[in-house]
Amino acid sequence: MILQQILRLSSLFHSAVSTHVRRNIGLSAIVFNKTKELDPVQKLFLDKIREYNTKSKQAGGPVDAGPDFQKDMNESLARLQRAYGEGDLTKFPEFKFEEPKFEDTPK
């Protein structure tokens, strides 16, 4: 009986410690990656993403998109408006929920 309780407690202790160790190792890996210098390929990739982000903000949309892209996008939006109704399909819809009306019934 006592042996079973000891084994059960040791199993609980083992699982708690292993979870704690895994979390600390995962956290230290993230911290280590932020402090070390990136390899050249990763650095180039991040630089290109940042460059595209700034160009996208300046252009107000997709970068280096020609007239074909705009034509395809307008056709797609027109097709979606015919299929799903009117409205601006480039914005997230606004939902309005009304409170239900409850009536008191006499007992």
pLDDT band (50, 70, 90) for residue 24? low
Tell me what percent of the residues of the chain surpass a pLDDT of 90: 9
Q: Can you give the pLDDT at residue 29? A: 60
Are the C-beta atoms of residues 48 and 60 closer than 8 Å to each other? no
Residue 13 vs residues 26, 27, 57, 61: alpha-carbon distances, Å? 20, 21, 52, 54
Percent of residues in the chain assigned helix, strand, coil, to nearest 5: 65, 0, 35
Q: Can you give the pLDDT at residue 65? A: 80
Q: Can you give the pLDDT at residue 63? A: 80
Q: Can you give the pLDDT at residue 51? A: 92
Q: Give the mean model confidence (pLDDT) for residues 9-29.
A: 64
**Which tens digits make up the pLDDT trace of 26-56?**
656 655 665 467 788 888 998 999 999 999 8
Q: Where exactly are the structural domains of the chain? A: 1-61
Q: Can you give the pLDDT at residue 14? A: 64
What's the number of CA atoms in the CB half-sphere (13 Å) around residue 15? 5
**Which tens digits make up the pLDDT trace of 65-86?**
888 988 998 898 888 888 887 7
Residue 93, pLDDT > 60, answer: yes
